[in-house]
Structure 1
Amino acid sequence: MTKSKHESFVIIGVTEDGHKFRPSDWAERLCGTMSVFGAERRMAYSPYVQPGDMEGHKCVFVDIRIHDIESRAYHFLENFARDNKLKVLPWSPSP
């Protein structure tokens, strides 16, 4: 069986050259692109793309399961990190 090259990852709000990524609400904005509005008319982030904080930096946690649901969304997030030269680390979500 061939192992998939796709994995869960975290995008950290620091560029490869060490600068803080702007604007300060970038993580919430990015996760907002993957959100939905529920029956109560409130926005809800996807359970597979969540804003957070790591070592004092804004970040976005990306669960590999989004790749199975919508691979284009997963690749959009990968490309966002690459295009903006953001640090990306592997991440293991809780089951």
Structure 2
Amino acid sequence: MDESSKSAPVVKEFFILGLTSKGRTFRPSDWAERLCGVMSCFRPPSSPRNRHNHLQYSPYVRPTMVDGVKAVVVNAALRDIEPMAYHFVVDFAKDNDLQVIDACLFDAGQASS
């Protein structure tokens, strides 16, 4: 392991999948975009504030697809910035019986070797 990888912060993320614990597709079909839209105001303290921030997803809660299933990627750093927002997202997944899985992180430089 080189020095740069020792000092790099570990990013902890997890996915909320648009599938219930029984494998059913969660509805409405735009649930991920809606959830991310609600969370769009939560940003790193150092990020510039401007009048168009509401038009961008938060870097902490963003929609994606996982094996053809709508999902939301949640960065655990949200818990430090705004614990209530973090718990809102986690409780959303629990209340709707959605599958939650940890993101698998790897060093892209080592993946090709």
Q: Which runs of 5+ in 1 are unaligned?
A: 1-6
**Deviation beyond 3 Å, 4+ runs, structure 1:** none
Give the share of equivalent positions with the same residue, in percent.
48
Name whichever structure is richer in strand by fraction: 1
The higher relative CO (CA closer than 8 Å, separation ≥ 6) is in 1
Name whichever structure is richer in helix by fraction: 2
- Where 1:50 maps in the other structure, the secondary structure is strand
Q: TM-score, with normalisation over the residues of structure 2?
A: 0.70
**Shift in Å at residue 38 of structure 1?**
3.8
Q: Which runs of 5+ in 2 are unaligned?
A: 1-11, 42-48, 107-113
- Where 1:73 maps in the other structure, the secondary structure is helix
Q: TM-score, with normalisation over the residues of structure 1?
A: 0.83
Question: Which amino acid is the alignment partner of residue 29 of structure 1?
Answer: R
What is the number of equivalent residue pairs in this alignment?
88
C-alpha RMSD over aligned residues: 2.0
The residue that corresponds to 1:69 in the other structure is 81
- Where 1:28 maps in the other structure, the secondary structure is helix
